[in-house]
Structure formats: C-alpha cells, structure tokens
Amino acid sequence: MLKGLHHKSLWVVNMKYITTGEAAEICGVRVNTIKRWIKAKEIDAIRTPGGHWRITRDAFIRFLNAYHIQAPDALLEPQEKHRILVVDDDPGIQMFVRDTMEMAPFPNTVDEALDGYTGLVKIGLIRPRLLVLDIMMPEINGLEVLQRLKAEPELWENMSILVLTGAQDHTLLVRKLKEAGPDAILFKPVGVQELLQTVTRLIVGQQPAGNTGKLIHAD
C-alpha cells in the first residue's frame, strides 16, 4: 500500500492529534488517500464537530508499524514522560526514589506527597503511571489508600502500584496486601538497582495494575 515515507519537512509532532494533511505529507500520498484509508478502517481516526478527521499519533504509528514502515523520528518526539508519584512521609525516601529515577532507561517525572490524603488528591489530579506507596503513614495509611483506590477503579485504570514499606511483619502485611492488589512489594531498605529494575519492569515490561494483580517480592 505504501511505497515509502517522504521527508520533505521533518516537523516535530508535539500534539496528540495529526491532521489528514500532515499524515499525507508523511506518507507521501494525497489527502484523499488518507481519508480513504480512514473510511476503510485502515487508520483509526475521529471526526471533529466541524467534520474534519483527526488521527491520534499512537494510531498513526500503529498504522505505519502494521506495514513495517519505520515512523520518522520527528513523529516520535517529544517522548512523553511517565509520571511517578511517591507517597511516603519520609523525605529521604522521596529523594532516594527521585535520584534513582534519574538513571531510569525511560523518560519520567517524579512528584511527591507526604501523606495518604495528599497522595489521593494528587492521584486524581496528575493520574500517574506509577504510584510508589509507603504503608506506615499517619492518618490515612497506605492500606487505606489502596482500599480507596480499589473502590474507584477509574483512578488506577492505567496506573501500576509499587508498595515500598519498612514493615517488619512481612507475612501478615503481604496477606493484607494481596486483597488490595498492588503490582509489586519491596521491603526497605531497598538498593538502587533493586528499585530501578522493579520500576522499569512495572512501567516498561508489565501491564498496568488494573489488568494484573501480580506481586513481585524482593528477596
């Protein structure tokens, strides 16, 4: 279907949606050809109230990949950063996670909360890709945060959860956490490589929490 990509202008696509004209320029075809592919459901697209087609960047990249055509670098950038929220009442742990994430093999941004209540508010506001959650916190503890999230699945639909705790009774805690369903548990003290490997596995190599419930235990 496609004979190759034209690189007449390597503009950076910094929006979520691509017009049919922009898609046509990338593919080196006419706009009507793009519209025909959309109507044939070769490309997923939405129609604006004004009747114009808009293609999501991800859908267009999937279309190119389906025909084994490498998307131009300009289409892939800027790479979106994965939001990580650390909810822990220890500023030292927050700094440790933030410093460790600077070595991560994927772009990310780290936000923090010192208590469960603020953490819940920030989850609703920023919708993080990963929640790093302490258990032993004043007022609303980590278990209660998990229970509240479980009651509102839309809040953690695309979010993985890593419990990072210093609780000593591992057996009792894990039993309680299994009901709450985080993706992973690490017990403090945690090493840099251990944390980095676990977070990378959760964000890059594992399905979000809403689709799993698998526990990863640190030795």
- 35 has pLDDT over 80: yes
- 216 found inside a domain: no
Structural domains in the chain (count): 2
Answer with the one of 29, 46, 76 that is the final residue of a domain.
76
Closest residue by Cα to residue 167 from 191, 185, 144, 180: 185
CATH number, domain of 92, equals: 3.40.50.2300
Output the pTM of the full model.
0.60
Looking at 32, 55, 76, the residue that finishes a domain is: 76
- For residue 107, what are the contacts with CB-CB under 8 A and spacing of at least 6? 79, 80, 81, 82
Residue 126, in any domain of the structure: yes
134 located within any domain: yes
CATH number at residue 64: 1.10.1660.10
**Is there a domain that residue 10 lies in?**
no
Within this chain, do residues 71 and 134 fall inside the same structural domain, yes or no? no
> How do beta strands 53-56 and 46-47 pair?
antiparallel
Closest CA to 196 of 123, 117, 121, 102: 102
Query: Of how many residues is the chain composed?
Result: 219
Q: What is the pLDDT of residue 170?
A: 65
For residues 108 and 181, membership in a common domain is answered with yes
Same structural domain for residues 191 and 103?
yes
Classify residue 169: in a domain, yes or no. Answer: yes
Domain C-terminal end among 49, 76, 103: 76
Note whether 127 and 180 are same-domain residues. yes
Alpha-carbon distance 46 to 15, whole Å?
15
Q: Tens digit of pLDDT for each residue in 55-78?
A: 988 888 888 878 776 677 666 655
pLDDT class of 99 with cuts at 50, 70, 90: very high
Rounded Cα–Cα distance for residues 22 and 80 (Å): 20
185's enclosing H/E stretch is strand 184-187
Please report whether residue 160 resides in a domain.
yes
pLDDT tens digits for 180-203? 778 998 988 899 999 999 999 998
Q: Is residue 116 located within the same domain as residue 133?
A: yes
Q: Is 90 in the same domain as 191?
A: yes
Domain range for 191 is 82-211
